[in-house]
Amino acid sequence: MKKLISLLLILIMSFGLAACNLTPEPEPVDCELYPTHVDCLEDEEPDLNCDTDPDNELCVEEEPADYLDIYYINDFHGAILPDSDQLGMAYIANFLVTKKEENPDNVIILAGGDILQGTALSNYYAGYSTISMMNEMYFDAFTLGNHEFDWGLETVTAYFDGDDSNGEATFPLLGANVFYEGTSTIPDGIEPYTIIERAGLKIGIIGTMGYGLESSIATSKITGYEFAEPVAIIESYSYHLRTIEDVDMVFVVSHDTGRINDGVAALSGDYRVDAIFNAHSHSNYAQTNLGIPIIQSGANGEYVGHVRFSFDENGMLSGYYAENLDFYDTDLFHTQNTTVQALIDTYQLETDALFNDPLLVAGDDLSQGELTLWIARLMRITTGSDIAFHNIGGTRTDIEDGDMINLGVLYQVWPFDNIVKTVWLTGAQINSFKAGPGSFYDTEIEVFDDNTYYKVATNDYVFDKDYYPFVNGEYPENTGLLLRDIAVTELELQAILYDSFLTTNDILSGSLIPDDDQPIFNARD
């Protein structure tokens, strides 16, 4: 009986709640008066006649792109400021940004290595000043060069580690054949390739280092890394890109003088490459090899490389051409990009007092060779050595008559942070090394006795090569003296006595190595 009463109560309550929630049915919409009301719209697709309505977005088919432009720089060496034939970053930026913004889907912008190291305004910021400008210039990829190792690889890869606190590039760093020594593992921050979609195409870009370029890097900076033979690696990645990633074109950007070109150009089928971008030798060429364009675009921002691929109405490749553009080829190189120039102004303001204070005016044209011999003489005297060596490649440019020499100029002449080292070698070792190719040295000794020991100075780049005699000599010493710093000190002294700098001026710096630090080996027997 209780269950029956409970059931009746539940039914009564349910009917009551239902009565409270009753709402009247909505009135139907008069679709003649309100044809656009949601209740009046029909769900089925409207009739479409593309013959009578060709501009309807449903009728317009995406047309294949008729061209693809690739712009390229290599061996820029931090040439941020214009100088002689060097365009300067703000002017290159005006050209590249204009081209990109005019046709954003038809432009790729690439860098071929040795981009960061070489001038005071880039070196002072360990390359990030240059990276920050490249970020504003729509770069799509950057292949490592040997001089990206000059501060230690980890300095440059930090800009590609995803950590905004240390500064980040907006484009990838490529190096498909850069491995930890004895492995096939690519260091963090480096990618073997990148894929870009432009002009309705998927484009794979493989970056590689030149084979054997470890010898172009200071031993202390390359230890633990190696560069594998690139052609086989390019072949493998090209196949992967075409068969797995389904790309339409493959480009190779290699910090290589052209040694790889024949082998890469000969690849065919699913291994084929459509263009090669070279670097390292600072050459200026745009040529063809087995039907593909190959280009290298000088150095120090004197040129911007340009490769154009043309396509027919069916999207098939119909032709290409390659060229290197300089100041006279377009008015776009005559105007600065304001955003990049503002960055340059900021960096210059921060460093002006450091780099632009005058030291001494050049009293004559001073060649790269003369400056190499002079820095060798300065090393010899400041270390109290019998002979000093300096490699011609460690001196990067000339100084012209009348140039005001300052720290910024010295960064251009000796951009590498080379440390002076000394060691004792036999006359036989010295005579053998002197006779080698490209040996620049300074000494007052006319004949080195084979069986006598002599004190020798050189920079750490030369010293640390294990195929040279220095690392196996007696009493090796790292003086801690930075090559560029001893040049600054000497010019400051010469400014007191001389009106101008000549390499024939007397060296005024004395030995910076105390006599009591000289080993007993001073007996030379």
Backbone angles phi, psi at 478, to 5 degrees: -90, 110
Choose between 146 and 438: higher pLDDT.
146
Q: Is there a contact between 287 and 294 (Cβ–Cβ < 8 Å)? A: yes
pLDDT bucket at 357, cuts 50 / 70 / 90? very high
- How high is the pLDDT of residue 6? 45
- pLDDT tens, residue by residue, 24-75: 455 565 666 555 555 565 554 455 566 666 666 555 555 567 999 999 999 9
Q: How far apart, in whole angstroms, are the C-alpha atoms of residue 495 and residue 360?
A: 6
Res 34: pLDDT: 55
Average pLDDT, the chain: 90
Three-class SS state of 446: coil
Is the confidence at residue 21, as pLDDT, over 50? no
User: Do 416 and 394 form a contact (C-beta atoms < 8 A)?
Assistant: yes
Higher-pLDDT residue of 357 and 40 is 357
More confident residue, 470 or 18: 470
b/e map of 403-436 (b: 16 or more CB within 10 Å)? eebbbbbbbbbbbbbbbbbbbbbbbebbeebeee
pLDDT of 448: 97
Residue 211: pLDDT over 90: yes
Residue 120: closest CA among 78, 88, 181, 82: 78
Q: How confident is the model at residue 437 (pLDDT cuts 50, 70, 90)?
A: confident
Quick one: DSSP state of residue 351?
H
- Alpha helical stretches, state H, 85-199: 89-102, 120-123, 128-135, 153-157
Report the phi/psi class of residue 227: left, alpha or beta, with left for phi > 0 and alpha for psi in -120 to 50: beta
pLDDT of residue 2: 41
What are the CB-based long-range contacts (under 8 Å, 24+) for 291-294? 291/265, 292/265, 293/320, 293/321, 293/322, 294/258, 294/261, 294/265, 294/322
| Ordered structural domains, the chain, with CATH | 67-349 (3.60.21.10), 358-523 (3.90.780.10)
The pLDDT-based confidence of 1 (bands split at 50, 70, 90) is very low
For residue 475, give the H/E element and its range: strand 474-482
Rounded CA separation 366/375 (Å): 12
For residue 514, is pLDDT > 80?
A: no
Give me the pLDDT at residue 298, please.
98
User: What pLDDT does residue 519 have?
Assistant: 63
Contacts of 353 (CB under 8 A, 6+ apart): none
| Backbone phi, psi, residue 297, to 5° | -120, 55
> 285 exposed, middle or buried (CB, 10 Å; 0-12, 13-18, 19+)?
middle
Task: Read off the pLDDT of residues 271-326 as tens digits, 9 standing for 90 and up.
Answer: 999 999 999 999 999 999 999 999 999 999 999 999 999 999 988 999 999 999 99
Q: Tokens representing 259?
A: 């040694």
3-state secondary structure of 426: strand
Tokens of 54: 């060709």
- Is the pLDDT at 142 greater than 60? The verdict is yes
* Each residue's pLDDT tens digit, 91-133: 999 999 999 999 999 999 999 999 999 999 999 999 999 999 9
Q: Which of 412-416, 510-514, 517-521 is predicted least confidently?
A: 517-521
**Given a cut of 60, is residue 17 above it in pLDDT?**
no
pLDDT tens per residue, range 467-503? 999 999 999 999 999 999 999 999 999 999 999 999 9
Query: Residue 515 phi/psi, 5° resolution?
Result: -60, -35
* Greater model confidence, 457 or 437: 457
What pLDDT sits at residue 18? 42
Residue 233: pLDDT above 60? Answer: yes
What are the Cα distances from residue 240, in Å, to 244, 247, 272? 5, 9, 11
75 contacts 114 by C-beta, under 8 angstroms = yes
* Whole-prediction pTM: 0.84
- The type of residue at 206 is I
